[in-house]
Structure 1
Amino acid sequence: MSYATRKDDHVRLAVAQHRESLAGQRPSPFEDVAFVHHAVRGTAERAVSLATEVGGATWPVPLYINAMTGGSARTGEVNRGLAIAARETGLAIASGSMSAYLADSSVAGTYRVLREQNPDGYVIANVNANATPEMAARAVELLRADALQVHVNAIQEIVMPEGDRDFSAWPRNIARLAESLGVPVIVKEVGFGISADTVTQLADLGVRIVDVSGNGGTNFALIENARRRRADFGLLADWGLSTPACLVDGAEVAALRGVTVLASGGVRTPLDVVRALALGARAVGVSGHFLSILEAAGVDALIEAIDAWIAQIRQLMVVLGAETVHALANADVLLTGGLAELCRLRGIDPAAYARRSRSTRE
């Protein structure tokens, strides 16, 4: 099967999954996270700054369009629309996996459009963990990228009919990329999460930014299983850690090791964005929700939706009394249900999150 056919299948199946999420057929991974309401702690909207720092660069908002697609005529048009939306709203944007380009340079335009339509924006190239420094440099050069995502996707590859079956070289390759490239390197899961132990391992390899990309969003185990002739590998459908679970699991070690944490996976609302920021993310990525809007209603509707998200993120910070993204780390948060149980099993005190603001007010 060609790269182009596979990429088109991914878009079609991802949009179908997101429609199921909107219809309530898939639970939100953020349903176990709630803010303690303090009725008179609000601030003024004019005092709130949404700026955040990632890899030495300042992003105007803590929101980005995360890795999706590229490699076929159809996905090139998707990337065009996403790039226009990023340009008009100020969001950073990541390409989908550039493996198709590295295998066949004739599809370069389906990725390069991200920079052509967004000449002054923050653009992130994307390669897999088998990429050599030379391959990664080609991807960065094509997009004049400000950073490189290295995606790790062992579960997807195992279910993918034509996928890889050897991941033993990944640590060595990631270390080479982190050392050799002249742009920040972000290691990103594709929807199964990054644990605290993995944050430690990546820090030892020289990685300073991770995107935890937990489960609850686009599920590549299901997507690849649907592409199997017998659809016989559905047993991995629930594999992995949710995005909130990754954030609480890895918060302490990330702070100790100086690793910047980005969050994506299952982000469906502006409230989810603020929840993720309060759990330690520096910025939050969205894929499926934005893709679904673009596919259903076009780029103008996507721009309008992103602008509405930005306004609501700011307004939620007003209510919480958080004048900066960093200040959200002091918001009192209730961790309940399965997330609280994960905390117990991993030796994390969920009650500490519920009274964080007291230490800043004493």
Structure 2
Amino acid sequence: MAAELASERKDDHVRLAAAQQKEAPRPNGWDDVRFVHHALAGVDAALVDLGVDVAGTRWALPFYVNAMTGGSASTGTINRDLAIAARETGVAIASGSLSIALDNPELMSTFRVIRDENPDGFVMANVGIERSPEDARRAVDALEADALQVHVNAMQETVMPEGSRSFSSWPASLEAIVAAVEVPVVVKEVGFGLSAETLSRLAATGVRFADVSGVGGTDFMRIENDRRSGRDYAYLAGWGQSAVECLLEAPADAPVLLASGGVRTPLDVARALALGARAVGVSGSFLSVVLDGGADALISRIREWSDHLTALHSLVGATRPEDLRRTDLIIHGRAAEFARARGIDIDSLARRAGGKDAR
């Protein structure tokens, strides 16, 4: 019965996340970032190479299928479609949290399908920060994973009806996981952001990669609150920082940064790369495509994003994703307010190109 209840919760998560995707657009931190248009700065699209180096591997594209689901028959089908799309397009992919399968091994096949359908791709397993080092190793082995995402989700646990609120042990638990596994560890928030202080603390722990995963995408506070009979935590709406705010304040000693949280278009990917992300995770936008049209629809969408992202690089004169870090950006709205309150110089971002338009 425990496995059945856990599987039901995973199906609830997908149903509620999909419902959020169909709602009217909400304020999104990516809209606080604008590229300054320089009409003569472009380069030939044929010169653009979208490849990036992550965790010792060359990724063909600077965006990836981020952690979503698994743990039930229906979510196993979703994972199969995601894996097929990853295989056919060459994007990296992360599994949903394997905790349910670590506790109920009969459900592991709903995650293992990611590797079975994508035998040569870059796959990240995913566990919660409270799991034991042995569980972390089991998760990596189960998916023959190239990296391990460790998710931190204090807000989700706080609102989750069956959630844990024993957070004091998390730093030590993370340190033990990092020491125990042989693959790179990516610490990932679940949609509430990683502050500058947190990023520095992660680096001191030995974490080499961090996905800031900010506010604006799937809202797990709302998901868990919708599972509560009284929906009594609704007042926490909007808690956390956007990925834009996290990238703006990331300290010099931060791990290599990945970014996610409300990524809707190739322009959002370009914005994240321009703010310093090495690569960009996409969940909700791709989930909607898979639910509506299966693997074939997602393959088409990923190829479209690749073409559009190449065009955007060409437009702004960037032959590689890292070149976007030298483009001129205007930061406004809530991100600008956040930056000024935190003492971050955003005005210099508007003058990074150094006269590229005159070439």
TM-score by length of 1: 0.96
For residue 248 of structure 1, report the CA deviation from its aligned partner: 0.4
For residue 150 of structure 1, report the CA deviation from its aligned partner: 0.2
Match of 1:348, SS?
A: coil
Find the counterpart in structure 1 of residue 309 from structure 2. 313
- Whether 1:146 and 2:146 are equivalent positions in the alignment is yes
Q: Distance in 2 between matches of 1:103 and 1:181?
A: 19
Find the counterpart in structure 1 of residue 88 from structure 2. 88
Task: Give the letter aligned to residue 289 of structure 2.
Answer: I
Q: Deviations over 1:24-49 (max 9, x none)?
A: 2x122211100000100101111111
Task: Give the letter aligned to residue 29 of structure 1.
Answer: G
Task: Give the letter aligned to residue 33 of structure 1.
Answer: V
Find the counterpart in structure 2 of residue 293 from structure 1. 289
Find the counterpart in structure 2 of residue 179 from structure 1. 179
Q: Distance in 1 between matches of 2:178 and 2:328?
A: 35
Match of 2:179, SS?
A: helix
For residue 298 of structure 1, report the CA deviation from its aligned partner: 1.7
- Whether 1:7 and 2:10 are equivalent positions in the alignment is yes
Q: 2:87–2:118: 8 Å Cα contact kept in structure 1?
A: yes
Q: 2:29–2:335: 8 Å Cα contact kept in structure 1?
A: no
Question: Structure 1 190/302 Cα, relative in aligned 2: closer, same or farther at 3 Å?
Answer: same
Find the counterpart in structure 1 of residue 49 from structure 2. 49
Find the counterpart in structure 2 of residue 224 from structure 1. 224
Task: Give the letter aligned to residue 29 of structure 2.
Answer: P
Q: Deviations over 1:108-132 (max 9, x none)?
A: 1000000000000000000000111
Task: Give the letter aligned to residue 146 of structure 2.
Answer: D
For residue 258 of structure 1, report the CA deviation from its aligned partner: 5.9
For residue 359 of structure 1, report the CA deviation from its aligned partner: 8.5
Task: Give the letter aligned to residue 354 of structure 1.
Answer: A
Q: Distance in 2 between matches of 1:122 and 1:274?
A: 22
1:265-276 matches, within 5 Å, as 265-276=261-272
Q: Deviations over 1:251-291 (max 9, x none)?
A: xx2xx326210000010011000000000000000000100
Find the counterpart in structure 2 of residue 40 from structure 1. 40
Q: Distance in 1 between matches of 2:347 and 2:30?
A: 17
Task: Give the letter aligned to residue 311 of structure 1.
Answer: D
Q: Distance in 2 between matches of 1:293 and 1:248?
A: 30
Match of 2:29, SS?
A: coil
Q: Distance in 2 between matches of 1:201 and 1:159?
A: 25
Q: Distance in 2 between matches of 1:248 and 1:220?
A: 23
Q: Distance in 2 between matches of 1:179 and 1:104?
A: 25
- Choose 337-346 or 140-149, whichever is displaced more: 337-346
Identity %: 54
- Whether 1:329 and 2:325 are equivalent positions in the alignment is yes
Q: Distance in 2 between matches of 1:137 and 1:279?
A: 33
- Choose 158-167 or 171-180, whichever is displaced more: 171-180
- Which aligned segments of 4 or more residues in structure 1 are displaced greater than 3 angstroms? 359-362
Q: Distance in 1 between matches of 2:155 and 2:173?
A: 18
- Whether 1:341 and 2:322 are equivalent positions in the alignment is no
For residue 10 of structure 1, report the CA deviation from its aligned partner: 0.3
Q: Distance in 1 between matches of 2:179 and 2:57?
A: 19
- Whether 1:257 and 2:260 are equivalent positions in the alignment is no
Question: Structure 1 138/6 Cα, relative in aligned 2: closer, same or farther at 3 Å?
Answer: same
Task: Give the letter aligned to residue 280 of structure 2.
Answer: V
Find the counterpart in structure 2 of residue 71 from structure 1. 71
Task: Give the letter aligned to residue 172 of structure 1.
Answer: A
Find the counterpart in structure 2 of residue 19 from structure 1. 22
- Whether 1:357 and 2:353 are equivalent positions in the alignment is yes
Q: Deviations over 1:197-216 (max 9, x none)?
A: 10001011110100000000
Question: Which runs of no fewer than 5 residues in structure 2 stay unpaired?
Answer: none
Q: Deviations over 1:300-335 (max 9, x none)?
A: 111101110011011000001001111110010000
- Kindly report the root-mean-square deviation, in angstroms, between the aligned alpha carbons of the 2 structures: 1.3
Q: Distance in 2 between matches of 1:269 and 1:69?
A: 21
Task: Give the letter aligned to residue 36 of structure 1.
Answer: V
Match of 1:298, SS?
A: helix
Find the counterpart in structure 1 of residue 195 from structure 2. 195
The total of aligned residue pairs comes to: 355
Q: Distance in 2 between matches of 1:106 and 1:70?
A: 12
Find the counterpart in structure 2 of residue 59 from structure 1. 59
Q: Distance in 1 between matches of 2:333 and 2:190?
A: 24
Question: Which runs of no fewer than 5 residues in structure 1 stay unpaired?
Answer: none
Find the counterpart in structure 2 of residue 133 from structure 1. 133
For residue 296 of structure 1, report the CA deviation from its aligned partner: 1.1
1:79-118 matches, within 5 Å, as 79-118=79-118
Q: Distance in 1 between matches of 2:200 and 2:86?
A: 32
TM-score by length of 2: 0.97
For residue 190 of structure 1, report the CA deviation from its aligned partner: 0.1
